[in-house]
Structure 1
């Protein structure tokens, strides 16, 4: 992977059209998500953009209280920039981020990227029966 890529938490750099396009059209987890919800999610999260020069090529966000808990969400690298180690670099950057140190628990949900996250200490819950969810079907 080249060092030409940078990661930034500066929300003013985010290309919300790119984030919306990927989430609403290419992801399996946020199909048809309206732009106003993408904007609200970004506004209320710690966001990480991956850039090649001024072009955004990746994204992730963390929902956190900065004290005890973090939920890693919406991680992606656009197709044209995959295979360069960017997702690994992004997740490493996030778990090393100074404001997220000392948390008691990190969580995430994935259908197909278990091997990526396992490299950074993510595991299946010790007792899945402890976890509950309230899931709204077709929320978009």
Structure 2
């Protein structure tokens, strides 16, 4: 594991999949992320199983308070998704630390492109961290299913 990002006292970053609190992550997402509302727990469990998972843990008793995941081919491309920090712990730089930790963990892979779909409230965080709008969006296509 790569070195942990700078965090406020009492918090810890982890790339250890064994430390993911699946119930807590599901609750954080369905209650606090518009894109995950209505997501079934079984679907969330399948998502966790198929992703590289990361957490921010509060050492003072609140357990896992942040989550992010990466979907990747492990060689050229990754998608950052489901980035969330418990509202009670926001405003302390934890979102930025979570993203920094994810990127540090991915660095040895030498990925050429990492993408994300930023929510309106998350966009400033990503822009401050150096993320830019997708280059050549006209080259990208999607297939949506109901």
* Pairwise same-fold verdict (TM > 0.5): yes
- 1:40 equivalent to 2:46? Answer yes
- 1:83 equivalent to 2:94? Answer no
The within-5 A match list for 1:25-104 is: 25-53=31-59, 55-98=63-106, 101-104=109-112
Report deviation, 1:129: 0.8
SS in 1 for 2:102: helix
Question: Could you list the runs of 4 or more consecutive aligned residues of structure 1 that deviate by over 3 angstroms after TM superposition?
Answer: 98-101
Q: Provide the rounded CA distance (Å) in 2 between the counterparts of 1:119 and 1:101.
A: 23
In structure 2, runs of 5+ residues without a counterpart are 1-6
SS in 1 for 2:132: coil
**Range 96-105 or range 44-53, more displaced:** 96-105
Greater RCO (CA < 8 Å, at least 6 residues apart): 2
CA contact (8 A) 1:66 1:100 kept: no
| TM-score calculated relative to the size of structure 1 | 0.89
In structure 1, runs of 5+ residues without a counterpart are none
Report deviation, 1:99: 5.4
**Range 91-100 or range 37-46, more displaced:** 91-100
CA contact (8 A) 1:70 1:103 kept: yes
SS in 2 for 1:2: coil
Report deviation, 1:116: 1.1
Q: How many residues align?
A: 137
Aligned-residue Cα RMSD (Å) equals 1.6
Q: Provide the rounded CA distance (Å) in 2 between the counterparts of 1:100 and 1:69.
A: 13
Q: Provide the rounded CA distance (Å) in 1 between the counterparts of 2:71 and 2:90.
A: 25
CA contact (8 A) 2:15 2:105 kept: no
| Equivalence for 1:14 | 20
